[in-house]
Amino acid sequence: MVVTWIKNLKKSLSKSSSVIGEGIKKIIKSRKIDDSTLEELENHLISSDIGIVFSEEIITEIKNKKYLDTSVEAVKKIILNSIIKVLKPLEKEVLIGKINTHPFIILVVGVNGVGKTATVGKLAYKFSSQGKKVGIVAADTFRAAAVEQLEIWSKRTNSTFFSSKIENADPASLSYSSYLKAKEQKIDILIIDTAGRLHNKSNLMDQLTKIIRVLKKINASAPDEVILVLDGNTGQNSIKQASVFKEICDINSLIISKLDGTAKGGAVIPIGKTLKIPIIGLGVGEQKEDLVKFEADEFARALLDIN
Amino acid sequence: MFESLSEKINETFKVLKGKGTITESNLEEALRSIRIAFLEADVALTATRDFIERIRSKAIGQTVIKSVSPAQMVVKIVNDELIEFLGSKNHEINFNNRPPLVILMAGLQGSGKTTTTAKLAYRLKNKFKKSVLVASLDTYRPAAREQLESLAKKNNIDSLEIIMSEKPSQIVLRAEQKAKNENYDILILDSAGRNHIDTKMMNELIDISNRISISETLLVVDSMSGQDAANVAKHFSDKLNVTGIILSRLDGDARGGAALSMRFITQKPIKFIGVGEKVEELDEFFPDRIASRILGMGDVVTLVEKAAEDIDEEEAKNLQKKILKGRFSLIDYSKQLDQISKLGGVQSLLKYLPGLSNLKNNVNESIENSKIVEIQKAMINSMTKKERIFPDIIKASRKVRIAKGSGTRVQDVNKLLKQFKKMSQMMKKFGKNKNMDQIMNSPQFKNLGSLINK
């Protein structure tokens, strides 16, 4: 099981890692480490979306090493360790096991097009294949055919489907009634898929707080988990998205989607540094099983092409 | 949308300000800041490098000119280069081919293709009076075809009926047939989102584009894209004959560096930008405007156009002359208040003005909603003509009269007069000193926001 996901992740990150890894090799090999080499290295790090500040930090660390081993491996190692140091504390299990509240409520949020609905489907699959009774709520009542899309996912994953028959229904009232129904039906985990919204549109963000408010009427500790889905292709704006969503709906986990392209997902590093939001999964494909656990070591190694 | 990048670059130019000539070392300093600003704005590394090199060679070549300050010179060079980078003309859809004109939409998953397809269809139908048919080739994502169909229905756009069992290659042919038989001007094909390194999916797209004659292939790119946008653009444009770019989600707060990367990598024009969730929120892309916006030099063109629509040009010119000469009376001030409200309030005005984008944050949003403009106008209307031209003659009893006439208090009249005085002082400075930044950074100006607000 563990081996498969590492393979999956490696396969999916290999396109990008080979680029980064190769790049580092090319820059450092057969050159002395001077300012221009370091600057190139810095540029290179930045181009993996890990951000200016962190790149500068890594470069400074290399500069400050008194007896610097200038081999490619040694330099890579320094970079690797810096990345692991940031990411290690962010590892988080996808809950499960000790569910006390019934149902366990997961709210999935994010901007448009990051892959929320597919992520909800993959989460549902994960839990239902662990023998849990899963329910999915189609609270994206805005986007055309979003409900239909999710309904297909619920069939694929043997989940109970909750939706509203009214077009453009109020997502908060749908969430509320679904919560009650799920309680009656003894559902273990209820996943609420929300409409995509740009974090700078306050009216849409208000709608999100309303969903949380009504859930709290049933159970003050709900939702148990608020997951922000970030697109691995997004650059420095990810940080803004994460901080705004955190402020508004107190997200407690991240899932980084679409890491099966050449995107590096490097933006999780500045997010990890500044916001310290744990990462519970990485999306690496379009199939229902394409959600892998996040492991800092592997992620960093795959990113830098180190075995 | 591009404010963040402009703010960064403004910071950069502060480094250059106050230095006599461009020396190699202060140029390096500036270039480094520009480079960082660009990278932070998600401009791809390759594009950034190329850009910096261009600036360097131009700047060094021009050090001989002594009449301008180094800062002005670099601003000019960066601006010119940005415009060149982004392309210098606006491009519409090419209508020259024989109908039905086929437009293929391509891009990564979640870049906004389906919404953009509906927006483009809406635009072509309503602005250009074309008959448009849309068809979704997305047989992969659950309910993707239904999404386009329902968007089309909502906006009275014709869509190809869905046959669930069909493959994309079959849908294409059926769509073309229908477009031909029923004399549609335009057929827009919404393809499935695909990963650019997914060979199978990319081949499918190539196959589709070989099956029928396609006049435009538009690549839809999320403006929030990071450094990888460059790879995406390269893969797509290598494999397909991409004729243009559409940048989606520019209503977000991303720095929008993807615009630069796209142009650099594909060399194709950015044709449209998506600026909202509604079907009519697709705008033309004007490279020159965006360039000056990135630089924080203001979307002057847009302002001028907007102003020309709403405001008598002569009047505006006269006012400007008066401002520059420092002969600015309360009559002019009152006219100015009128124009501000015509242009959509202080906030939207500031957005367009050079160097003011960073001030926008200082001005409280409540100005817009407040009735201050109206109240001030009432006070001015309660004055005699002489008072309006020579406000200095307004003393105690006149103040009482004005307050009574306008339903305000003497304190309010005082406030108006004080504000007007500061403003006309500033206007005088404006006239004498061409260096906007000095004015913008002057304490009086910074207080303006709070003054208006009080």
In whole angstroms, give the CA distance from residue A300 to residue A292.
Answer: 15
Same fold, A2-90 and A96-294: no
Q: Would you tell me which CATH number, out of the four given (2.60.40.10, 3.40.50.2300, 1.20.120.140, 1.10.8.50), belongs to the domain A2-90? A: 1.20.120.140
Q: Which residues contact B141 (CB under 8 A, 6 or more apart)?
A: A149, A286, B109, B192, B193
pLDDT, residue A138, reads 95
pLDDT at position B425: 74
Mutation target vs A (from B45, B195, B265, B360; most A CBs, 10 A cutoff): B195
Give the residue from chain A lying closest to B257, CA to CA. Answer: A235
Q: Which chain A residue has its CA at the smallest distance from B199's CA?
A: A261
Cα dihedral across residues B224, B228, B233, B235: positive or negative? negative
| pLDDT attached to residue B214 | 94
> Which residues of A fall within a CB distance of 8 Å from B105?
none
Q: Which residues of A are less than 8 Å from B236 in CB distance? A: none
Rounded alpha-carbon distances, angstroms, from residue B26 to A39, B32, B60, B237:
18, 10, 12, 38
Q: What pLDDT, on the 0 to 100 scale, is given for residue A168?
A: 81
Burial class (CB in 10 A: 0-12, 13-18, 19+), B271: buried
How far B83 CA lies from chain A's nearest CA (Å)? 23
Q: What's the pLDDT at B342?
A: 61
Position A236 scores a pLDDT of 85
For the segment A201-217, the average pLDDT, to the nearest whole number, is 91
pLDDT at B64: 39
Phi, psi at residue B290, to the nearest 5°? -65, -35
The residue type found at B187 is L
Q: Map residue B275 onto helix, strand or coil.
A: coil
Task: Give the Cα separation of B239 and B241 in Å (integer).
Answer: 7
Neighbouring CB atoms inside 10 A of A271's CB total 25
Mutate to test the interface with A, among B3, B43, B164, B228 (most CBs of A within 10 A): B228
Instruction: Judge whether residue A11 has pLDDT over 60.
Output: no
User: What distance in Å separates residue B72's CA from the closest CA in chain A?
Assistant: 27
What residues of B are in contact with residue A266 (Cβ under 8 Å)? 226-227
For chain A, the helix, strand and coil percentages under 3-state DSSP, each to the nearest 5: 50, 15, 35
Q: Which of A111, A199, A234 sits opposite B225 (nearest CB)?
A: A234
What residues have CB less than 8 Å from A265, skipping those under 6 apart? A49, A232, A256, A259, A282, A299, A303
Burial (CB count within 10 angstroms: exposed 0-12, middle 13-18, buried 19+), residue B366? exposed
Greater pLDDT, B308 or A171: A171
* Residues B251, B282: Cα–Cα separation, whole Å: 11
A233-264 pLDDT, tens digit per residue, is 898 889 989 999 999 999 999 999 998 887 77
Give A-chain residues touching B255 at CB under 8 angstroms.
236-237
Pick the CATH number of B101-296 from 3.40.50.300, 3.40.640.10, 1.20.1440.230, 3.40.50.720: 3.40.50.300
- CA closest to B112 among chain A residues: A113
What pLDDT score was predicted for residue B326? 59
B3-86 placed in CATH 1.20.120.140: yes
User: How many inter-chain contacts (A to B, CB under 8 Å) are there?
Assistant: 148
The domain ranges of chain B are: 3-86, 101-296, 302-453
Statement: residue A9 has pLDDT above 90: no
Q: How much of chain A, in percent, has pLDDT values that exceed 70?
A: 88
Q: Which of A212, A203, A202, A197 is nearest to A250 (CA)?
A: A212
Q: Mapping DSSP to helix (H, G, I), strand (E, B) and coil, where does residue B225 land?
A: strand
Task: Give yes or no for residue A130 having a pLDDT over 50.
Answer: yes
Residue B262 to residue B107: CA distance in whole angstroms: 13
Q: What residue of B is the nearest CA neighbor of A117? A: B142
Positions in chain B whose pLDDT score sits under 50: 1-4, 64-67, 296-311, 352-369, 433-454
Q: Which residue of B lies nearest to A267 if distances are taken between CA atoms? A: B226
Mean of all residue pLDDT scores within chain A: 86
Select the residue from A27, A112, A287 to test the B interface by mutation, using most B Cβ atoms within 10 A: A112
CATH code of the region A96-294: 3.40.50.300
Q: Supply the pLDDT for residue B113.
A: 95
pLDDT score of B31: 80
B368 touches chain A (CB under 8 A): no
For residue B151, give Cα distances in angstroms to A117, A190, B136: 18, 29, 11
User: Would you call A49 and B227 a contact, using CB atoms and an 8 Å cutoff?
Assistant: yes
- The answer to whether B454 touches B415, Cβ cutoff 8 Å, is yes
The CA-atom distances, in angstroms, between B406 and each of B373, B399, B411, B417 are 13, 11, 13, 14
In this model, does residue A166 exceed pLDDT 80?
A: yes
Angle ∠(B206,B212,B216) on CA atoms, nearest 5: 75
Distance (Å) of CA B225 to CA A113, A271, A275, B96, B99: 12, 16, 21, 32, 34
Which of A233, A262, A264, A271 should one mutate to test binding to chain B, selecting the residue with the greatest count of B CBs within 10 A?
Answer: A233
- Say yes or no for a CB contact (<8 Å) between A233 and B222: yes
User: Closest-CA residue in chain A for B194?
Assistant: A261
Determine the CATH number of domain B302-453: 1.10.260.30
Test A43 with B45 for CB contact under 8 angstroms: yes
Read off φ and ψ for residue A209, nearest 5 degrees. -65, -30
B195 close contact with A: CB closer than 8 A: yes
DSSP 8-state secondary structure symbol assigned to residue A89: G
Which two structure tokens, joined as six digits, stand for A40? 């190139």
Q: A231 vs A73, which has greater pLDDT? A: A231
